[in-house]
Amino acid sequence: MITTETQTDPYTAVQHFYARQMQALDARDLQGYADTFTEDATFAHTPGREPARNRDGIVADLHEFHRKFDTDPLQRRHWFNQIVLDAQPDGSLAATVYALVVDTRPEQRPQITASCVVHDVLVRDGDTFLTRSRTIEYDRG
């Protein structure tokens, strides 16, 4: 891992954090993904669905959410970019981030399934960050 010594810029550290977080999610490493949240995090990933709370809750919720893919051979990729960071008085960072969900199914061209704006609160954790809360807003036109 690239260490604090070389990664002094929080913007860069956040980009790297998101890259690792999304690669964990897309590899269905749900525990690894949940570990990128704080222990007391909230995660509202689907409108109209109660937010998941704390790491165990996030893992349980994601297992349930991913069940629909069990019979759907799908490689999903999350692209997080166009990151805007605003420092909060408590030292956390409010992040507003564009996200694309790109799905590939056998013998099909990749498709953009969703365009979203992610609203995160990020807190420092050593040389990286943790997500303390996440709310996803889906573009609907």
CA pseudo-torsion sign 52, 54, 57, 58: positive
**Residue range at the interface with its own copies (CB under 8 A); choices 40-48, 60-68, 94-102, 125-133:** 94-102
Could you tell me which stretch among 10-18, 36-44, 53-61, 119-127 binds its own copies (CB under 8 A)?
Answer: 10-18
Q: Does 7 bind its own copies (CB under 8 A)?
A: yes
- Tell me the C-alpha distance between 111 and 41, whole Å: 30
**Helices marked H in the chain — which ranges?**
10-26, 30-34, 54-66
Q: Is 135 in the site for its own copies (CB under 8 A)?
A: no
Alpha-carbon gap, residue 28 to 13, rounded angstroms: 23
**Cβ 123 vs Cβ 138: under 8 Å:** no
The single residue among 48, 89, 91, 141 that binds its own copies, judged by CB under 8 A, is: 141
Taking CB under 8 A as the rule, does residue 48 contact its own copies? no
CB of 97 to its own copies, least distance (A): 8
Q: With DSSP H G I counted as helix, E B as strand and the rest as coil, what are the percentages for the chain, rounded to 5?
A: 25, 45, 30
Compute the distance between CA of residue 7 and CA of residue 9 in angstroms, rounded to an integer: 6
Q: How far is the CB of 2 from its own copies (least distance, A)?
A: 5
- Regarding 12 and contact with its own copies (CB under 8 A), the answer is yes
Binding site for its own copies (CB under 8 A): 1-3, 6-12, 15-16, 18-20, 22-23, 73-75, 77-87, 93, 96, 98, 100, 102-115, 139-141
